[in-house]
């Protein structure tokens, strides 16, 4: 059996990763999904996933050490995805972002080294961990390789609360793995998108505004660039990296996952207008929030060298699929 633990299993990445692993491993799959359901949702999609007899769900608070008695052991792979994400949360409750993200990782690593050290541990970091390097040093190479300065630009700006937890989290996993001689892997996602991604990110926000025919149409940080990786391509990369013996080495690997095509927020909006067949009469250009990063473009050559990965879903196709999902599932909060 391929026994796998996924924390944050009810969330965006956790849900799609679970679907991927069930498809790839077939009858050998045994998935245990952990979530406290604060941000992950017990919606129809997730309920249907839990009907699969190969899936077990545990509703646990990973900041409570007593919760770890419920996890058991014998996991070949552990995907630690649980974290508070979303720019709104960085600004509104940065202390909780730092507390929850850091405590859950430390307790997970303590459990792992004692109960499951024969397995392999994946930590989901973020491109936010190095986002301050461009503004602070002006030296951030584009495309950006993995071995780049990790920078918290301004400790007084709550925007950097999340980045700080990911920067420190990378250090935790690197040195725990070295000290206790277990296999680990760090990934840095670069703007994963797709159905069921929450309602606080740019593509979900654009999708909802288009569905509601918002006009004038606001665009924040219109000239800032990003790449966007469709979720099925993203979780395929994660699974391929975890299954590869090339990532079993010490020191552990840090790998970027993202697409190749850099696009501004304005260009992204225009693509969405095209694929949805609607365009507002007026565009309302607004300033980006303080601390927002001007450019992001990952170097994914290491990912390709380790796995041969290539994206399969075009941006146009992915945006259309995503818009259709959000049109059918409007935010009811």
Confidence class of residue 322 from pLDDT cuts 50, 70 and 90?
very high
C-beta of residue 33 within 8 angstroms of C-beta of residue 56: yes
What homologous superfamily is domain 2-195+228-260+298-312 in, according to CATH? NAD(P)-binding Rossmann-like Domain (3.40.50.720)
Q: Give phi and psi for 235, each to the nearest 5.
A: -75, -25
| pLDDT value at residue 150 | 87
Give the whole-number percent of the chain exceeding pLDDT 70.
97
Confidence class of residue 304 from pLDDT cuts 50, 70 and 90?
very high
| Exposure class string for 185-212: b at 16+ Cβ within 10 A, else e | bbbbbbbbbbbbbbbebbbbbbbbbbbe
| Exposure class string for 237-276: b at 16+ Cβ within 10 A, else e | bbbbbbbeeebeeeebbbbbbbbeebbbbeebbebbbebb
Confidence class of residue 224 from pLDDT cuts 50, 70 and 90?
very high
* Residue 217: Cβ-neighbour burial (10 angstroms; 0-12, 13-18, 19+): buried
Spell out the residues 6+ positions from residue 148 whose beta carbon is closer than 8 angstroms to its own.
130, 133, 140, 141
Is the peptide bond prior to 99 cis by the omega test (within 30 degrees of 0)?
Answer: no
Q: Which of 126-135, 146-155, 163-172, 214-223 has the lowest mean pLDDT?
A: 126-135
| pLDDT value at residue 11 | 95
Confidence class of residue 291 from pLDDT cuts 50, 70 and 90?
low
C-beta of residue 296 within 8 angstroms of C-beta of residue 131: yes
The rounded distance, in Å, linking the Cα atoms of 213 and 56 is 40
Check whether 213 has a pLDDT greater than 80: yes
Confidence class of residue 49 from pLDDT cuts 50, 70 and 90?
very high
The rounded distance, in Å, linking the Cα atoms of 31 and 53 is 9
Check whether 293 has a pLDDT greater than 90: no
Q: Give the chain's mean pLDDT.
A: 93
| pLDDT value at residue 181 | 97
Of 170, 169, 175, 129, the closest CA to residue 149 belongs to 129
CA distances from 261 to 71, 140, 202, 258, 297 (A): 40, 18, 17, 9, 8
Pairing mode of beta strands 2-7, 77-80? parallel
Higher pLDDT, 220 or 153: 220
End-to-end C-alpha distance for the chain, whole angstroms:
40
Section 255-281 average pLDDT: 97
pLDDT digits (tens, 9 = 90+) for 115-157: 999 999 999 999 888 877 766 666 678 888 999 888 888 899 8
C-beta of residue 126 within 8 angstroms of C-beta of residue 188: yes
pLDDT digits (tens, 9 = 90+) for 55-102: 999 999 999 999 999 999 999 999 999 998 877 778 889 999 999 999
Pairing mode of beta strands 283-286, 217-220? parallel
Check whether 3 has a pLDDT greater than 80: yes
The rounded distance, in Å, linking the Cα atoms of 322 and 86 is 18
């Amino acid at each position: 059996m391929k026994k796998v633990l996924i924390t944050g299993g009810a969330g965006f990445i956790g849900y799609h990763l679970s679907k991927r692993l069930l498809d790839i491993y077939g009858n050998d799959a045994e998935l245990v999904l952990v979530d406290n359901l604060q941000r992950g949702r017990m919606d129809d999609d997730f309920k249907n996933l839990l009907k699969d007899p190969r899936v077990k769900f545990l509703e646990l608070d990973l900041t409570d050490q007593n919760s770890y008695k419920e996890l058991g052991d014998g996991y070949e792979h552990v995907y630690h995805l649980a974290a508070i994400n979303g720019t709104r949360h960085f600004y509104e409750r940065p202390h909780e972002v730092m507390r929850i993200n850091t405590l859950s990782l430390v307790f997970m690593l303590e459990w792992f080294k004692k109960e499951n050290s024969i397995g392999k541990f994946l930590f989901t970091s973020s491109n936010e961990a190095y986002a301050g390097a461009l503004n602070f040093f002006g030296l951030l190479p584009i495309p950006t390789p993995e071995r780049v300065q990790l920078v918290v630009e301004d400790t007084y700006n709550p925007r950097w609360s999340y980045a700080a937890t990911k920067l420190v989290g990378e250090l935790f996993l690197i040195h725990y793995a070295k000290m206790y001689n277990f296999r680990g892997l760090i990934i840095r996602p670069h703007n994963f998108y797709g159905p069921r991604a929450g309602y606080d990110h740019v593509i979900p926000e654009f999708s909802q505004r288009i569905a509601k025919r918002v006009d004038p149409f606001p665009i924040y940080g219109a000239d800032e660039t990003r790449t966007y990786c469709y979720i099925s391509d993203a979780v395929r990369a994660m699974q391929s990296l975890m299954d590869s013996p090339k990532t079993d080495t010490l020191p552990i690997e840090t790998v970027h996952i993202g697409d190749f095509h850099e696009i501004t927020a304005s260009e992204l909006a225009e693509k969405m207008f095209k694929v949805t067949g609607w365009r507002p009469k007026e565009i309302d250009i607004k300033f980006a929030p303080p601390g927002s990063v001007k450019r992001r473009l990952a170097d994914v050559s290491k990912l390709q060298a380790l796995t041969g990965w290539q994206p399969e879903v075009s941006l146009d196709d992915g945006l259309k699929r995503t818009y259709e999902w959000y049109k059918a599932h409007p935010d009811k909060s």
